[in-house]
Structure 1
Amino acid sequence: MSARSRLFRVNLGAELRTLRERAEMSTRTVATRLGTSPAWVSRTETGARYPTPEEVAALCDLYGATGEMHDLLTAKAESNDGTTINLPSHDQFADQLANIMLLETEARRVTTCEIALVPGLLQTAEYARQMISTVNRPQSEIERRVATRIGRQAVLSRPNGPELRFLIDEFVLRRRIGGVRTMRGQLQKIMADSECPNVRVRVIPASAGAHPGLDGTFAIYEFAALETYVYLENRKGGIFVTDGNATQQYVESRDALWEAALGENESVELIDALVEGLIDD
Protein backbone atom coordinates (compact mmCIF):
# COMPACT_ATOMS: atom_id res chain seq x y z
CA MET A 1 0.00 0.00 0.00
CA SER A 2 1.51 3.34 -1.07
CA ALA A 3 1.78 6.09 1.50
CA ARG A 4 -0.22 8.56 -0.56
CA SER A 5 -3.36 6.39 -0.61
CA ARG A 6 -3.15 4.76 2.82
CA LEU A 7 -5.68 7.08 4.45
CA PHE A 8 -8.31 6.49 1.82
CA ARG A 9 -7.79 2.75 1.85
CA VAL A 10 -8.34 2.65 5.61
CA ASN A 11 -11.40 4.83 5.18
CA LEU A 12 -12.80 2.57 2.47
CA GLY A 13 -12.63 -0.32 4.93
CA ALA A 14 -14.43 1.76 7.55
CA GLU A 15 -17.19 2.55 5.07
CA LEU A 16 -17.59 -1.14 4.23
CA ARG A 17 -17.79 -1.98 7.92
CA THR A 18 -20.53 0.66 8.39
CA LEU A 19 -22.53 -0.87 5.53
CA ARG A 20 -22.15 -4.35 7.04
CA GLU A 21 -23.33 -3.15 10.44
CA ARG A 22 -26.31 -1.37 8.90
CA ALA A 23 -27.18 -4.62 7.15
CA GLU A 24 -26.93 -6.33 10.57
CA MET A 25 -24.51 -8.96 9.31
CA SER A 26 -21.63 -10.52 11.22
CA THR A 27 -18.23 -11.07 9.64
CA ARG A 28 -18.97 -14.81 9.76
CA THR A 29 -22.24 -14.35 7.85
CA VAL A 30 -20.50 -12.26 5.18
CA ALA A 31 -17.69 -14.80 4.88
CA THR A 32 -20.18 -17.64 4.44
CA ARG A 33 -22.16 -15.76 1.79
CA LEU A 34 -19.05 -14.86 -0.20
CA GLY A 35 -17.19 -18.13 0.29
CA THR A 36 -14.29 -16.59 2.19
CA SER A 37 -13.20 -16.29 5.85
CA PRO A 38 -14.15 -13.92 8.69
CA ALA A 39 -10.49 -12.89 8.85
CA TRP A 40 -10.69 -11.77 5.20
CA VAL A 41 -13.66 -9.57 6.06
CA SER A 42 -11.96 -8.10 9.14
CA ARG A 43 -8.69 -7.39 7.33
CA THR A 44 -10.61 -5.67 4.57
CA GLU A 45 -12.44 -3.45 7.06
CA THR A 46 -9.30 -2.47 8.97
CA GLY A 47 -7.32 -1.66 5.84
CA ALA A 48 -4.86 -4.52 6.42
CA ARG A 49 -5.71 -5.68 2.89
CA TYR A 50 -7.05 -3.62 0.01
CA PRO A 51 -10.01 -5.12 -1.87
CA THR A 52 -10.31 -5.21 -5.62
CA PRO A 53 -13.13 -3.27 -7.31
CA GLU A 54 -14.87 -6.62 -7.94
CA GLU A 55 -14.68 -7.53 -4.26
CA VAL A 56 -16.06 -4.13 -3.24
CA ALA A 57 -18.89 -4.52 -5.75
CA ALA A 58 -19.73 -7.94 -4.30
CA LEU A 59 -19.77 -6.52 -0.76
CA CYS A 60 -21.97 -3.62 -1.84
CA ASP A 61 -24.40 -6.01 -3.50
CA LEU A 62 -24.51 -8.13 -0.36
CA TYR A 63 -25.14 -5.09 1.86
CA GLY A 64 -27.76 -3.62 -0.46
CA ALA A 65 -25.69 -0.55 -1.33
CA THR A 66 -26.75 0.61 -4.76
CA GLY A 67 -26.57 3.67 -6.98
CA GLU A 68 -24.09 6.38 -6.08
CA MET A 69 -22.78 4.60 -3.00
CA HIS A 70 -22.02 1.46 -5.00
CA ASP A 71 -20.33 3.49 -7.74
CA LEU A 72 -18.35 5.62 -5.30
CA LEU A 73 -16.88 2.73 -3.31
CA THR A 74 -15.93 0.71 -6.38
CA ALA A 75 -14.36 3.84 -7.88
CA LYS A 76 -12.32 4.29 -4.71
CA ALA A 77 -11.07 0.72 -5.03
CA GLU A 78 -9.93 1.55 -8.55
CA SER A 79 -7.96 4.62 -7.38
CA ASN A 80 -4.85 2.58 -6.61
CA ASP A 81 -2.45 5.52 -6.92
CA GLY A 82 -4.61 7.80 -4.81
CA THR A 83 -3.70 10.84 -6.95
CA THR A 84 -7.27 12.00 -7.55
CA ILE A 85 -10.45 10.77 -5.88
CA ASN A 86 -13.82 12.19 -6.88
CA LEU A 87 -16.48 12.31 -4.19
CA PRO A 88 -20.03 12.97 -5.35
CA SER A 89 -22.36 14.80 -3.02
CA HIS A 90 -25.37 12.86 -1.75
CA ASP A 91 -27.62 13.27 1.28
CA GLN A 92 -27.77 9.51 2.00
CA PHE A 93 -24.14 9.22 3.07
CA ALA A 94 -21.39 11.46 4.45
CA ASP A 95 -18.42 10.16 2.52
CA GLN A 96 -16.80 13.55 2.05
CA LEU A 97 -17.13 14.35 5.74
CA ALA A 98 -15.75 10.96 6.74
CA ASN A 99 -12.64 11.51 4.63
CA ILE A 100 -12.20 15.10 5.85
CA MET A 101 -12.46 14.03 9.49
CA LEU A 102 -9.92 11.27 8.87
CA LEU A 103 -7.49 13.76 7.36
CA GLU A 104 -8.04 16.21 10.22
CA THR A 105 -7.19 13.44 12.66
CA GLU A 106 -3.96 12.44 10.91
CA ALA A 107 -2.67 15.79 9.59
CA ARG A 108 0.22 17.77 11.03
CA ARG A 109 -1.12 21.03 9.59
CA VAL A 110 -4.39 21.99 7.93
CA THR A 111 -4.82 25.24 5.98
CA THR A 112 -8.26 26.32 4.79
CA CYS A 113 -8.73 29.18 2.33
CA GLU A 114 -12.32 30.46 2.20
CA ILE A 115 -13.73 33.15 -0.09
CA ALA A 116 -17.46 32.51 0.37
CA LEU A 117 -18.24 31.22 3.87
CA VAL A 118 -16.77 30.98 7.34
CA PRO A 119 -14.79 27.70 7.48
CA GLY A 120 -16.82 24.83 8.95
CA LEU A 121 -14.44 24.35 11.88
CA LEU A 122 -15.11 27.95 12.97
CA GLN A 123 -18.86 28.11 12.39
CA THR A 124 -21.42 28.61 15.14
CA ALA A 125 -24.38 26.26 15.21
CA GLU A 126 -26.75 29.01 14.07
CA TYR A 127 -24.51 30.07 11.18
CA ALA A 128 -24.15 26.43 10.12
CA ARG A 129 -27.91 25.92 10.40
CA GLN A 130 -28.56 28.91 8.14
CA MET A 131 -26.21 27.59 5.47
CA ILE A 132 -27.33 23.96 5.63
CA SER A 133 -30.95 25.11 5.38
CA THR A 134 -30.34 26.72 1.98
CA VAL A 135 -30.87 23.23 0.53
CA ASN A 136 -34.31 21.69 0.98
CA ARG A 137 -33.81 18.96 3.61
CA PRO A 138 -35.91 17.51 6.45
CA GLN A 139 -35.38 19.38 9.72
CA SER A 140 -34.00 16.22 11.34
CA GLU A 141 -31.34 15.99 8.62
CA ILE A 142 -30.44 19.66 9.05
CA GLU A 143 -29.97 19.23 12.79
CA ARG A 144 -27.92 16.06 12.30
CA ARG A 145 -25.59 17.89 9.95
CA VAL A 146 -25.30 20.86 12.30
CA ALA A 147 -24.44 18.57 15.22
CA THR A 148 -21.84 16.74 13.13
CA ARG A 149 -20.24 19.98 12.01
CA ILE A 150 -20.04 21.30 15.54
CA GLY A 151 -18.73 17.96 16.76
CA ARG A 152 -15.81 18.21 14.33
CA GLN A 153 -14.67 21.31 16.17
CA ALA A 154 -13.19 19.21 18.96
CA VAL A 155 -10.05 19.18 16.82
CA LEU A 156 -9.58 22.86 17.71
CA SER A 157 -8.60 21.98 21.27
CA ARG A 158 -7.49 18.38 20.94
CA PRO A 159 -4.18 17.65 22.71
CA ASN A 160 -1.41 17.18 20.14
CA GLY A 161 -3.87 18.16 17.41
CA PRO A 162 -2.84 19.65 14.08
CA GLU A 163 -1.88 23.26 13.51
CA LEU A 164 -5.00 24.84 12.00
CA ARG A 165 -4.57 27.81 9.70
CA PHE A 166 -7.50 29.76 8.30
CA LEU A 167 -7.34 32.27 5.48
CA ILE A 168 -10.66 34.11 5.25
CA ASP A 169 -11.56 36.72 2.68
CA GLU A 170 -12.81 39.93 4.30
CA PHE A 171 -16.04 39.79 2.29
CA VAL A 172 -16.89 36.50 4.04
CA LEU A 173 -16.94 38.38 7.35
CA ARG A 174 -19.10 41.16 5.95
CA ARG A 175 -21.74 38.84 4.47
CA ARG A 176 -24.61 38.84 6.97
CA ILE A 177 -25.67 35.23 7.12
CA GLY A 178 -28.75 34.88 9.34
CA GLY A 179 -28.92 38.53 10.36
CA VAL A 180 -27.08 40.75 12.82
CA ARG A 181 -27.38 38.53 15.90
CA THR A 182 -26.16 35.40 14.11
CA MET A 183 -23.30 37.25 12.46
CA ARG A 184 -22.21 38.93 15.68
CA GLY A 185 -22.02 35.56 17.42
CA GLN A 186 -20.14 34.12 14.46
CA LEU A 187 -17.51 36.84 14.41
CA GLN A 188 -17.07 36.60 18.17
CA LYS A 189 -16.54 32.84 17.87
CA ILE A 190 -13.79 33.34 15.28
CA MET A 191 -12.01 35.72 17.67
CA ALA A 192 -12.39 33.28 20.56
CA ASP A 193 -11.16 30.30 18.53
CA SER A 194 -8.15 32.29 17.32
CA GLU A 195 -6.91 32.25 20.91
CA CYS A 196 -6.42 28.47 20.82
CA PRO A 197 -2.66 27.78 20.70
CA ASN A 198 -2.91 25.64 17.54
CA VAL A 199 -5.23 28.01 15.64
CA ARG A 200 -4.09 30.87 13.41
CA VAL A 201 -6.57 33.11 11.62
CA ARG A 202 -5.63 35.64 8.96
CA VAL A 203 -8.01 37.83 6.99
CA ILE A 204 -7.35 38.61 3.35
CA PRO A 205 -8.31 42.29 3.23
CA ALA A 206 -10.49 43.80 0.54
CA SER A 207 -7.55 46.01 -0.34
CA ALA A 208 -5.63 42.93 -1.52
CA GLY A 209 -7.61 43.09 -4.76
CA ALA A 210 -7.25 40.09 -7.06
CA HIS A 211 -5.56 37.16 -5.32
CA PRO A 212 -4.98 33.41 -5.96
CA GLY A 213 -7.73 32.41 -3.54
CA LEU A 214 -10.40 33.86 -5.80
CA ASP A 215 -10.12 30.79 -8.02
CA GLY A 216 -12.05 28.88 -5.35
CA THR A 217 -12.05 27.51 -1.84
CA PHE A 218 -9.45 24.88 -1.02
CA ALA A 219 -8.00 23.07 1.98
CA ILE A 220 -4.47 21.70 2.30
CA TYR A 221 -3.65 18.75 4.57
CA GLU A 222 0.05 18.26 5.37
CA PHE A 223 1.46 15.19 7.10
CA ALA A 224 4.67 14.08 8.74
CA ALA A 225 5.02 10.93 6.63
CA LEU A 226 2.46 11.18 3.82
CA GLU A 227 2.25 13.38 0.78
CA THR A 228 0.11 16.49 0.85
CA TYR A 229 -3.62 16.31 0.15
CA VAL A 230 -5.68 19.14 -1.31
CA TYR A 231 -9.46 19.16 -1.04
CA LEU A 232 -11.57 21.06 -3.56
CA GLU A 233 -15.31 21.35 -3.01
CA ASN A 234 -18.08 22.36 -5.36
CA ARG A 235 -21.86 22.08 -5.60
CA LYS A 236 -21.71 18.62 -7.19
CA GLY A 237 -19.30 17.16 -4.68
CA GLY A 238 -15.58 17.32 -4.00
CA ILE A 239 -12.18 16.16 -5.16
CA PHE A 240 -9.14 15.07 -3.17
CA VAL A 241 -5.86 15.57 -5.03
CA THR A 242 -2.44 14.27 -3.99
CA ASP A 243 -0.52 14.54 -7.26
CA GLY A 244 2.67 16.39 -6.33
CA ASN A 245 2.64 18.89 -9.19
CA ALA A 246 -1.00 19.79 -8.62
CA THR A 247 -0.74 20.12 -4.83
CA GLN A 248 2.41 22.25 -5.10
CA GLN A 249 0.46 24.90 -6.99
CA TYR A 250 -2.00 25.16 -4.10
CA VAL A 251 0.81 25.24 -1.54
CA GLU A 252 2.39 28.15 -3.43
CA SER A 253 -0.96 29.96 -3.55
CA ARG A 254 -1.39 29.35 0.18
CA ASP A 255 2.02 30.80 0.93
CA ALA A 256 1.36 33.88 -1.21
CA LEU A 257 -2.01 34.44 0.46
CA TRP A 258 -0.52 33.98 3.93
CA GLU A 259 1.92 36.81 3.21
CA ALA A 260 -0.73 39.05 1.60
CA ALA A 261 -3.19 38.62 4.47
CA LEU A 262 -3.30 40.70 7.60
CA GLY A 263 -1.32 39.36 10.55
CA GLU A 264 -3.16 37.52 13.31
CA ASN A 265 -3.44 40.55 15.60
CA GLU A 266 -4.52 42.83 12.78
CA SER A 267 -7.08 40.25 11.68
CA VAL A 268 -8.63 40.10 15.14
CA GLU A 269 -8.73 43.90 15.25
CA LEU A 270 -10.58 43.98 11.93
CA ILE A 271 -13.07 41.33 13.08
CA ASP A 272 -13.62 43.20 16.33
CA ALA A 273 -14.31 46.39 14.37
CA LEU A 274 -16.84 44.53 12.24
CA VAL A 275 -18.59 43.33 15.40
CA GLU A 276 -18.75 46.90 16.69
CA GLY A 277 -20.23 47.99 13.38
CA LEU A 278 -23.14 45.55 13.60
CA ILE A 279 -26.23 47.41 14.74
CA ASP A 280 -29.33 45.54 15.86
CA ASP A 281 -32.36 46.00 13.65
Structure 2
Amino acid sequence: MGQVMGPAQVREVADELRTHREDMEIPAHVLADRLGWSPSKISRVENGLAPISEIDVVRYGAHCGMRAHEIEALLDMCRDPGAPGFWMSKRSSTLIFHETQADSSTSYNPLVVPGMLQTQEYAAELIGDGSPWLVNLRMERQRLLSDRPFEFFIHEQALRLPVGGNRVMNEQLLKLVLVAGRPSITVRVVPSSLGARSVHGGSFVLFHYESHKPLVYLEHGKMGFFLEDQECVDSFRLLRDRLGEMALSRGESREMLAALASEFDRPEVSPDAPEHLAEEQSQRGT
Protein backbone atom coordinates (compact mmCIF):
# COMPACT_ATOMS: atom_id res chain seq x y z
CA MET A 1 0.00 0.00 0.00
CA GLY A 2 1.17 3.51 -0.72
CA GLN A 3 0.05 4.96 2.60
CA VAL A 4 0.40 3.15 5.90
CA MET A 5 -2.83 2.88 7.85
CA GLY A 6 -2.93 4.05 11.44
CA PRO A 7 -3.72 1.57 14.24
CA ALA A 8 -7.36 2.72 14.51
CA GLN A 9 -7.91 2.35 10.78
CA VAL A 10 -6.35 -1.13 10.82
CA ARG A 11 -8.83 -2.16 13.52
CA GLU A 12 -11.78 -0.97 11.43
CA VAL A 13 -10.65 -2.86 8.30
CA ALA A 14 -9.96 -5.94 10.45
CA ASP A 15 -13.47 -5.83 11.89
CA GLU A 16 -14.95 -5.67 8.37
CA LEU A 17 -12.89 -8.70 7.30
CA ARG A 18 -13.89 -10.78 10.32
CA THR A 19 -17.57 -9.85 9.86
CA HIS A 20 -17.51 -11.02 6.23
CA ARG A 21 -15.90 -14.33 7.19
CA GLU A 22 -18.42 -14.97 9.95
CA ASP A 23 -21.33 -14.03 7.67
CA MET A 24 -20.13 -16.70 5.22
CA GLU A 25 -19.83 -19.16 8.16
CA ILE A 26 -16.23 -20.02 7.29
CA PRO A 27 -14.18 -21.21 10.31
CA ALA A 28 -10.97 -19.27 10.89
CA HIS A 29 -8.78 -22.39 10.55
CA VAL A 30 -10.37 -23.26 7.20
CA LEU A 31 -9.66 -19.77 5.84
CA ALA A 32 -6.10 -20.01 7.17
CA ASP A 33 -5.57 -23.20 5.14
CA ARG A 34 -6.97 -21.57 2.00
CA LEU A 35 -4.66 -18.56 2.36
CA GLY A 36 -1.62 -20.50 3.46
CA TRP A 37 -1.55 -18.54 6.71
CA SER A 38 -1.16 -19.78 10.24
CA PRO A 39 -4.24 -19.63 12.50
CA SER A 40 -2.37 -17.13 14.68
CA LYS A 41 -1.93 -14.79 11.67
CA ILE A 42 -5.66 -14.94 10.98
CA SER A 43 -6.28 -14.03 14.62
CA ARG A 44 -3.80 -11.14 14.57
CA VAL A 45 -5.19 -9.74 11.31
CA GLU A 46 -8.82 -10.02 12.40
CA ASN A 47 -8.11 -8.33 15.71
CA GLY A 48 -6.24 -5.44 14.12
CA LEU A 49 -2.93 -6.50 15.66
CA ALA A 50 -1.12 -6.95 12.35
CA PRO A 51 -1.03 -4.77 9.20
CA ILE A 52 -2.57 -6.15 6.02
CA SER A 53 -1.69 -5.25 2.45
CA GLU A 54 -4.16 -4.55 -0.34
CA ILE A 55 -3.14 -7.83 -1.99
CA ASP A 56 -3.94 -9.76 1.18
CA VAL A 57 -7.27 -7.94 1.46
CA VAL A 58 -8.15 -9.11 -2.06
CA ARG A 59 -7.06 -12.70 -1.35
CA TYR A 60 -8.88 -12.77 1.99
CA GLY A 61 -12.07 -11.43 0.41
CA ALA A 62 -11.91 -13.80 -2.57
CA HIS A 63 -11.50 -16.86 -0.33
CA CYS A 64 -14.49 -15.66 1.71
CA GLY A 65 -16.66 -15.50 -1.42
CA MET A 66 -16.96 -11.72 -1.40
CA ARG A 67 -18.12 -9.99 -4.56
CA ALA A 68 -15.94 -7.58 -6.48
CA HIS A 69 -17.74 -4.45 -5.27
CA GLU A 70 -17.46 -5.62 -1.65
CA ILE A 71 -13.71 -6.14 -2.01
CA GLU A 72 -13.37 -2.74 -3.68
CA ALA A 73 -15.20 -1.14 -0.74
CA LEU A 74 -12.62 -2.65 1.63
CA LEU A 75 -9.80 -1.40 -0.57
CA ASP A 76 -11.32 2.09 -0.46
CA MET A 77 -11.10 1.92 3.33
CA CYS A 78 -7.41 1.06 3.05
CA ARG A 79 -6.81 3.94 0.65
CA ASP A 80 -8.73 6.54 2.69
CA PRO A 81 -6.50 9.65 2.39
CA GLY A 82 -5.11 11.57 5.33
CA ALA A 83 -2.11 13.50 6.58
CA PRO A 84 0.48 12.02 8.97
CA GLY A 85 -1.03 11.42 12.38
CA PHE A 86 -4.65 11.32 11.31
CA TRP A 87 -6.95 9.99 8.64
CA MET A 88 -10.32 11.05 7.37
CA SER A 89 -13.55 9.23 6.58
CA LYS A 90 -16.92 10.07 5.07
CA ARG A 91 -18.54 6.93 6.45
CA SER A 92 -20.89 7.07 9.41
CA SER A 93 -19.96 3.44 10.06
CA THR A 94 -16.43 4.51 10.98
CA LEU A 95 -17.63 6.67 13.85
CA ILE A 96 -20.03 3.97 15.02
CA PHE A 97 -17.29 1.34 14.97
CA HIS A 98 -14.83 3.28 17.14
CA GLU A 99 -17.66 4.52 19.34
CA THR A 100 -18.77 0.93 19.92
CA GLN A 101 -15.25 -0.36 20.59
CA ALA A 102 -14.37 2.34 23.15
CA ASP A 103 -14.44 1.52 26.87
CA SER A 104 -15.46 5.11 27.69
CA SER A 105 -15.47 8.53 26.06
CA THR A 106 -15.33 12.25 26.80
CA SER A 107 -16.88 14.85 24.50
CA TYR A 108 -17.16 18.62 24.29
CA ASN A 109 -19.89 20.46 22.38
CA PRO A 110 -19.87 24.27 22.17
CA LEU A 111 -22.81 24.90 19.81
CA VAL A 112 -25.44 22.14 20.00
CA VAL A 113 -26.51 19.28 22.26
CA PRO A 114 -24.33 16.18 21.62
CA GLY A 115 -25.84 13.75 19.12
CA MET A 116 -25.76 10.94 21.70
CA LEU A 117 -28.12 12.97 23.92
CA GLN A 118 -30.47 14.51 21.36
CA THR A 119 -34.20 13.88 21.22
CA GLN A 120 -35.55 12.70 17.88
CA GLU A 121 -37.27 16.01 17.16
CA TYR A 122 -34.19 18.06 18.08
CA ALA A 123 -32.04 15.89 15.80
CA ALA A 124 -34.58 16.18 12.97
CA GLU A 125 -34.50 19.98 13.21
CA LEU A 126 -30.70 20.01 12.94
CA ILE A 127 -30.39 17.40 10.20
CA GLY A 128 -33.33 18.58 8.07
CA ASP A 129 -35.97 16.75 6.08
CA GLY A 130 -33.60 15.35 3.45
CA SER A 131 -31.92 12.66 5.59
CA PRO A 132 -34.40 10.91 7.92
CA TRP A 133 -32.09 7.88 8.02
CA LEU A 134 -29.45 10.01 9.73
CA VAL A 135 -31.94 10.85 12.46
CA ASN A 136 -32.74 7.15 12.94
CA LEU A 137 -29.03 6.33 12.97
CA ARG A 138 -28.42 8.93 15.67
CA MET A 139 -31.20 7.42 17.78
CA GLU A 140 -29.75 3.92 17.32
CA ARG A 141 -26.33 5.12 18.51
CA GLN A 142 -27.87 6.14 21.83
CA ARG A 143 -28.28 2.49 22.80
CA LEU A 144 -24.62 2.58 23.78
CA LEU A 145 -25.44 4.91 26.68
CA SER A 146 -26.38 1.94 28.85
CA ASP A 147 -23.20 -0.02 28.11
CA ARG A 148 -20.29 2.10 29.39
CA PRO A 149 -19.27 5.41 31.02
CA PHE A 150 -19.79 8.60 29.02
CA GLU A 151 -18.69 12.11 29.95
CA PHE A 152 -20.22 15.14 28.23
CA PHE A 153 -19.10 18.76 28.51
CA ILE A 154 -21.68 21.10 26.97
CA HIS A 155 -21.26 24.85 26.67
CA GLU A 156 -24.17 26.87 28.05
CA GLN A 157 -24.65 28.61 24.70
CA ALA A 158 -25.48 25.22 23.12
CA LEU A 159 -28.28 24.79 25.67
CA ARG A 160 -29.72 28.24 25.00
CA LEU A 161 -29.60 28.04 21.19
CA PRO A 162 -33.28 27.67 20.16
CA VAL A 163 -33.73 24.64 17.92
CA GLY A 164 -37.25 23.86 16.74
CA GLY A 165 -39.11 26.10 19.16
CA ASN A 166 -39.92 26.10 22.87
CA ARG A 167 -41.56 22.68 23.03
CA VAL A 168 -38.65 20.93 21.30
CA MET A 169 -36.15 22.71 23.54
CA ASN A 170 -38.12 21.97 26.70
CA GLU A 171 -38.27 18.26 25.88
CA GLN A 172 -34.59 18.23 24.94
CA LEU A 173 -33.50 19.81 28.20
CA LEU A 174 -35.76 17.53 30.23
CA LYS A 175 -34.08 14.56 28.53
CA LEU A 176 -30.70 15.94 29.56
CA VAL A 177 -31.91 16.24 33.17
CA LEU A 178 -32.99 12.58 33.14
CA VAL A 179 -29.85 11.30 31.43
CA ALA A 180 -27.62 13.31 33.78
CA GLY A 181 -29.10 11.34 36.67
CA ARG A 182 -27.67 8.04 35.46
CA PRO A 183 -24.60 6.91 37.46
CA SER A 184 -22.55 6.01 34.36
CA ILE A 185 -23.22 9.27 32.52
CA THR A 186 -21.65 12.59 33.44
CA VAL A 187 -23.13 15.79 32.00
CA ARG A 188 -21.37 19.02 32.94
CA VAL A 189 -22.14 22.53 31.72
CA VAL A 190 -19.42 25.02 30.83
CA PRO A 191 -20.98 28.35 31.94
CA SER A 192 -21.02 31.40 29.66
CA SER A 193 -20.25 33.58 32.70
CA LEU A 194 -16.59 32.60 32.28
CA GLY A 195 -16.49 34.70 29.12
CA ALA A 196 -13.62 34.05 26.73
CA ARG A 197 -12.17 31.48 29.15
CA SER A 198 -15.11 29.20 28.36
CA VAL A 199 -14.30 29.05 24.62
CA HIS A 200 -12.33 25.96 23.57
CA GLY A 201 -12.76 25.65 19.82
CA GLY A 202 -14.96 23.11 18.07
CA SER A 203 -16.52 19.89 19.27
CA PHE A 204 -14.47 16.75 19.82
CA VAL A 205 -14.80 13.23 21.21
CA LEU A 206 -11.95 11.55 23.08
CA PHE A 207 -12.31 7.76 22.99
CA HIS A 208 -10.61 5.74 25.74
CA TYR A 209 -9.59 2.09 25.28
CA GLU A 210 -8.11 -0.43 27.68
CA SER A 211 -6.18 -2.29 24.97
CA HIS A 212 -5.42 0.56 22.56
CA LYS A 213 -4.19 4.12 22.65
CA PRO A 214 -6.83 6.88 22.91
CA LEU A 215 -8.37 8.28 19.74
CA VAL A 216 -9.86 11.71 19.02
CA TYR A 217 -12.75 12.38 16.66
CA LEU A 218 -13.18 15.90 15.28
CA GLU A 219 -16.45 16.72 13.56
CA HIS A 220 -16.20 19.08 10.61
CA GLY A 221 -19.58 19.58 8.94
CA LYS A 222 -20.64 16.28 7.36
CA MET A 223 -17.10 14.93 7.52
CA GLY A 224 -15.10 13.62 10.43
CA PHE A 225 -11.40 13.42 11.23
CA PHE A 226 -9.86 10.75 13.43
CA LEU A 227 -6.73 11.95 15.14
CA GLU A 228 -4.39 9.35 16.64
CA ASP A 229 -0.97 11.02 16.69
CA GLN A 230 -0.05 10.70 20.37
CA GLU A 231 1.20 14.27 20.82
CA CYS A 232 -2.00 15.68 19.34
CA VAL A 233 -4.19 13.33 21.34
CA ASP A 234 -2.39 14.37 24.52
CA SER A 235 -3.34 17.99 23.84
CA PHE A 236 -7.00 17.00 23.94
CA ARG A 237 -6.46 15.09 27.16
CA LEU A 238 -5.09 18.29 28.67
CA LEU A 239 -8.09 20.18 27.27
CA ARG A 240 -10.38 17.68 28.97
CA ASP A 241 -8.64 18.44 32.27
CA ARG A 242 -9.14 22.20 31.77
CA LEU A 243 -12.82 21.67 31.02
CA GLY A 244 -13.11 19.64 34.21
CA GLU A 245 -11.65 22.53 36.22
CA MET A 246 -14.02 25.20 34.91
CA ALA A 247 -17.28 23.32 34.25
CA LEU A 248 -20.07 23.21 36.81
CA SER A 249 -20.26 20.12 38.98
CA ARG A 250 -22.67 17.32 38.08
CA GLY A 251 -25.21 18.54 40.62
CA GLU A 252 -24.90 22.20 39.60
CA SER A 253 -25.15 21.25 35.94
CA ARG A 254 -28.32 19.27 36.51
CA GLU A 255 -29.85 22.22 38.36
CA MET A 256 -29.02 24.53 35.44
CA LEU A 257 -30.50 22.07 32.95
CA ALA A 258 -33.73 21.94 34.94
CA ALA A 259 -33.86 25.75 35.17
CA LEU A 260 -33.33 26.11 31.43
CA ALA A 261 -36.04 23.52 30.75
CA SER A 262 -38.41 25.69 32.80
CA GLU A 263 -37.46 28.75 30.77
CA PHE A 264 -38.54 26.98 27.59
CA ASP A 265 -41.73 25.67 29.20
CA ARG A 266 -43.93 28.36 27.68
CA PRO A 267 -46.22 28.70 24.66
CA GLU A 268 -44.77 29.58 21.29
CA VAL A 269 -45.17 33.28 20.45
CA SER A 270 -46.62 33.93 17.01
CA PRO A 271 -44.90 36.70 15.00
CA ASP A 272 -48.36 38.30 14.64
CA ALA A 273 -49.25 38.10 18.32
CA PRO A 274 -49.94 41.51 19.97
CA GLU A 275 -47.22 41.04 22.60
CA HIS A 276 -44.67 40.18 19.91
CA LEU A 277 -45.60 43.23 17.82
CA ALA A 278 -45.42 45.47 20.88
CA GLU A 279 -41.96 44.18 21.74
CA GLU A 280 -40.82 44.66 18.13
CA GLN A 281 -42.12 48.24 18.08
CA SER A 282 -40.44 48.96 21.39
CA GLN A 283 -37.10 47.73 20.01
CA ARG A 284 -37.50 49.98 16.99
CA GLY A 285 -38.29 52.95 19.20
CA THR A 286 -41.73 53.58 17.65
Are 1:36 and 2:44 matched, yes or no?
Answer: no
The normalised TM-score by structure 2 is: 0.73
Q: Which residue matches 2:267?
A: 280
C-alpha change, 1:195 and 1:259, in structure 2 (3 Å) is: same
CA distance 1:213–1:113, change in 2 (3 Å): farther
If asked which structure has higher relative contact order (CA below 8 Å, sep 6+), I would say: 1
- 1:130 paired residue number: 125
Length-normalised TM-score, structure 1 = 0.74
Three-state SS of the structure 2 residue aligned to 1:214 is: coil
1:1-281 → structure 2 map (5 Å cutoff): 8-17=9-18, 36=35, 43=43, 44-45=45-46, 47=48, 50-56=51-57, 59=61, 62-65=67-70, 70-75=75-80, 84-90=85-91, 94-103=93-102, 107=103, 109-133=104-128, 136-137=130-131, 142-143=132-133, 145-158=134-147, 161-162=148-149, 164-211=150-197, 213-235=199-221, 237-278=223-264, 279-281=266-268
Q: Indicate conservation of the 8 Å contact 1:11/1:102, yes or no.
A: no
| Secondary structure at the counterpart of residue 200 of structure 2 | helix
Aligned-partner Cα distance in 2 for 1:213–1:96: 25
Question: 1-side partners of 2:95 and 2:179: how far apart?
Answer: 24
Code of the aligned partner of 2:123: A
Q: Is the 8 A contact 1:19 1:65 kept in 2?
A: no
Q: Which stretch shows the higher mean deviation, 63-72 or 253-262?
A: 63-72
Q: How much is the aligned-residue C-alpha RMSD, in angstroms? A: 3.5
Report if the CA contact (8 A) 2:12-2:94 is conserved. Answer: no
What's the CA shift string for 1:147-195, capped at 9, x where partnerless? 332232233223xx23x11100111111121221111111001110011
Contact 1:228 1:242 in 2 (8 A): yes
Displacement of 1:249: 1.0
2:54 touches 2:75 (CA, 8 Å); kept in 1? no
Q: Secondary structure at the match of 2:154?
A: strand
Aligned length: 253
Which runs of no fewer than 5 residues in structure 1 stay unpaired?
A: none
Q: Which amino acid aligns with 1:54?
A: I
Q: 1:68 to 1:225 in 2, by over 3 A?
A: closer
Is 9-18 or 227-236 further displaced after alignment?
Answer: 9-18
- Consecutive unaligned residues of structure 2, counting only runs of 5 or more, are 1-5, 269-286
